[in-house]
Structure 1
Amino acid sequence: MKSKPKLSFWQIWNLSFGFLGVQAGFALQNANVSRILSNFGADLHHLSFFWLVAPIMGLVIQPWVGAASDRTWNRLGRRKPFILGGAIAATLGMFLMPNANWVVAIIPPIIFGAIMLALMDASFNVTFQPFRSLVADMTPGEQTTLGYSVQTFLINVGAIIGSFLPYVLTNFMDIDNTAPEGQVPDSVIWSFYLGGGILLLSVLWTVFRTKEYAPKEFAEYQGKSLEEEKVAEKSSFFKTIVNMPAVLGQLAVVQFFSWFALFTMWVYTTPAVAQHIWGTPIGDSSSAAYNEAANWVGVLFGLYSVFAALFSIIMNKVADSFGRKRTFSLALFVGALGFLSIYFFKGQYALIFSMVGVGIAWAAILAMPYAILSQALPAGKTGVYMGIFNITVVVPQIISGILSGTLLKYVFHERAIYMIIMAGISWLLASMMVFVVKDRKGA
């Protein structure tokens, strides 16, 4: 069997550079959508229902995109057509999302906001899966963990940019951070414009700087003829499910608790910090204090991405020394401590220490499951199995979205800080569940 050539560091860098921009857009969404929807009139305990759009889009789109990209080849390549198409649509959504006042005479702002959220999430999901598969397609086995570590670094650089934009525009460029009721502050609007531009330009870099292997060459790297590869690609979806690698199911348990916590964090960190640190009353979403807290949450999200990026630089070497499972489990444990510590801190700057743990866990979640899984997947089915694996990302988010509003209202009496504590407990469980996973590279 012909071996894939080793890639230079910059070739590996180019594979995932577009993910930097995609994640910048995704980070802007994560840090600001609750704020935008609240500005448009959404109730606090209904926010999780709007956020269900994201995992539902992932559930529907990513398996389809994975299977379609396995069978695609045109002048752009196999994965790149989906990456570029998704990026263009996501950029459009980002330009429109904060501008509901344009269509207020036609459609209520909250409905327009929900539609734009759906468009952005659908588009992000079209790009996410092919980027994951592109690393698996292009890297030889000995460079796979490195490939996903570099991708994790770039993801978090993008998240830093997206998370900090509203804070920077407000505090260093004197752009308004408040707006009349029913409208979005200029700092958020301009952040979405800039984020959309960064997204599209970075994706174009990957599209034009990366050359995918042609079908015949790719088949040779798998030890097959082109005809055998085409037959494998055409096997039924049912047969694909039946022959699913066991490790995918084992990782699903870890993924459940990992992503249940992440969804909870994205939805409730802003109200949790506003109530717990700034002392804002329940239901407040438009005061200067709430908007100040929201900007600081954007900074915190940027900081956990800084810590994730820093950890991703050494994560490959740590995993080589201690094993991917031990590295993954310890990272989740440290992340759980980060969540739980938020309850005990009373000052905004102390929360930076909490973000160290969250960032380490986030880096591991972005890299380790995919590095473990990619070693167990048949090459011709990488796209479809990565798409199926995304179900383990979106299902826990859907469950969190359905349950969290009820838990917040009736169990925690709308004190959002307790949702963050619940997220910490979820990561503790994920940390323990890592040891049920069978990794081909051992412990």
Structure 2
Amino acid sequence: MSFGFMGVQIGYSLQNANTSRILSAIGADPHNLSLFWLAAPLAGLFVQPIVGLSSDKTWTRLGRRIPFILGGAIVSALAMFFMPNSEHFAQLLPAVFFGAMMLLFMDVSFNVTMQPFRALVSDMVDESQRNKGYAIQSFLINVGAVVGSLLPFLLTNVFHVANEPGAGQKVAPTVIWAFYFGGGVLLLSVLWTALRTKEYPPEEYAKYNNLEDQVEEKVSFMDLLKNIPLTMKQLAITQFFSWFALFLMWVYTTQGIAEHVWGASDAHSKEFNEAGNWTGVIFAAYSVFAALFSLAITPLANKFGRKNVYMISLILGGLGLISMLFIQDKNLLLIPMVGVGISWAAILALPYAILSSSLPPKQTGVYMGLFNATITIPQIAAGLLGGVILSAVDGKAINMLVIAGVSMAIAGVCAKLFITAKEND
């Protein structure tokens, strides 16, 4: 079921590690980078609830979630093919605007694809398997993240693809070819899920969820908002601080380590591009640690409770981000990624495991979509405030990672204080 999510995450990780690099190369001001990144959370805020509501009410020959997964994958792959080539469409739009448009298309389609994957696990496994189901999904997501994050580095050092723009180029060939490869793998892996997963037809789904005797009621979107489960509201507090931190990390890591470790600020310089590749390496490292920790989440959550594992994981991630301020050796940057990886694995699995048991089966998709607002709103806040905060910390991007770490640690404290769900707690 989650194999296609691995391919989607390859694309998503390429975007996370290289968007700032691409936008800087085609002319974006560093103080405005966070504004460009608003495309992702804005897309998710509106798209995921719509997709969730639509997939709850859809049944086709392919199923209820699979058509959305497949359609989103096709569009996101196309956007991946175009974005690193934005400079070649200057006759249509300035390169920065074309790149921003492709980023928006990519993010909208990623959201169309990702949301049904979350609901698919909830649809297809019972409560006793939820920890395991979401942990496996987290594992596959992080395998994809490792591949996506490492691609530019591998293309440079193994396949000897040029890592600096050639004459008349702005974006390094390593990035362009990485996006080509990522888009292709995304499509193939999603096709595997679409062709191999057989969703429960409506009659079976109703039987397994004891819905056979329930009278079908028309529920408006406003009714859904009024009846949001308490667990979702409680999770929203923790989600705000954790995703605020993640957004700052994704936006400012390349610039932060380029300045702090390489002493480079020119986006076209050899050193800046080396820092861009190394961002992919350390992002791959946190994904490796996340993949490994996802294997331990089920036994740990069963023994110590989901909430406690969630809290400790987030605090470890915060400490990892803060420690980057004190490191100027690129290899030592791998150490903080242990904590970041643990927190990332927990963020991908535990909120959904905690939430899923409190959702009504008939509205699982739409509530999973609405829950995405707890991911997108903090990112929008971080995007709007990013430039202001950067100026407040003397324009040093490495300080943005410290702020991200503090926010992640606060998220851990909030998980302990505010989540009162009793199930497996």
Residue type matched to 1:417 in 2? I
Does the 8 Å contact 1:216/1:226 carry over to 2?
A: no
2:242 is aligned to 258
Instruction: Provide the C-alpha distance between the structure 1 equivalents of 2:364 and 2:420, rounded to a whole number of angstroms.
Output: 19
Aligned partners of 2:128 and 2:186: how far apart in 1? 30
Task: Return the letter of the residue paired with 1:107.
Answer: L
Match of 1:9 in 2: none
Alignment of structure 1 residues 169-180 onto 2, 5 Å: 169-180=155-166
| Alignment partner of 1:225 out of 212, 218, 225 | 212
Residue number among 46, 60, 63 corresponding to 1:74 in the alignment: 60
SS of structure 2 residue aligned to 1:349: helix
- The answer to whether 1:414 aligns with 2:371 is no
Aligned-residue offset at 1:227? 6.9
What amino acid is the match of 1:270?
Answer: T
In 2, Cα distance between equivalents of 1:393 and 1:103 = 32
* Residue aligning to 1:329: 311
**Aligned mates of 1:364, 1:358 — CA distance in 2:** 10
Is residue 375–residue 440 contact of structure 1 (8 Å, CA) maintained in 2? Answer: no
User: Is 1:198–2:185 an aligned residue pair?
Assistant: yes
Among 365, 390, 411, the alignment partner of 1:430 is: 411
1:3 aligned partner: none
* Structure 1, unpaired ranges of 5+: 1-14
How big is the shift at 1:102? Answer: 2.8
Mapped pair 1:249 → 2:236: no
Among 247, 257, 260, the residue aligned to 1:273: 257
Q: How does 1:271-310 map to 2 (within 5 A)?
A: 271-281=255-265, 284-310=266-292
Kindly indicate whether residue 142 of structure 2 is the aligned counterpart of residue 156 of structure 1. yes
Cα distance in 1 for residues equivalent to 2:263 and 2:97: 30
Distance in 1 (alpha carbons) for counterparts of 2:238 and 2:248 = 16
Taking structure 1 as the reference length, the TM-score comes to: 0.94
Work out whether 1:94 is the aligned partner of 2:90: no
Q: Within 5 A, what are the aligned runs for 1:340-359? A: 340-359=322-341
Whole-angstrom distance in 2 between the partners of 1:255 and 1:72: 29
**1:239 Cα deviation after fit:** 0.9
Deviation at 1:226, TM superposition (A): 7.5
CA distance in 2, matches of 1:222, 1:105: 55
- The letter for the 2-side match of 1:420 is L
Gaps of 5+ in 2: none
CA RMSD between the two structures: 1.1
Question: 1:387: how far off?
Answer: 0.5
Give how far 1:101 is off: 3.1
Q: In structure 1, the residue corresponding to 2:322 is in which secondary structure?
A: helix
Instruction: Provide the C-alpha distance between the structure 1 equivalents of 2:272 and 2:114, rounded to a whole number of angstroms.
Output: 32
Name segments (4+ residues, structure 1) moved above 6 Å.
none
The correspondence for 1:378, drawn from 344, 360, 372, is 360
1:106 is displaced (CA, Å) by: 2.1
Which residue of 2 is the match for residue 138 of structure 1?
A: 124
2:106 aligned with 1:120: yes
Decide which moves more: 216-225 or 66-75.
Answer: 216-225
Report sequence identity in percent: 53
Residue 36 (structure 1) aligned with residue 22 (structure 2): yes
Question: May I ask how many residue pairs the two structures share in their alignment?
Answer: 423
Taking structure 2 as the reference length, the TM-score comes to 0.98
Contact 2:41–2:377 (CA under 8 A) maintained in structure 1: yes
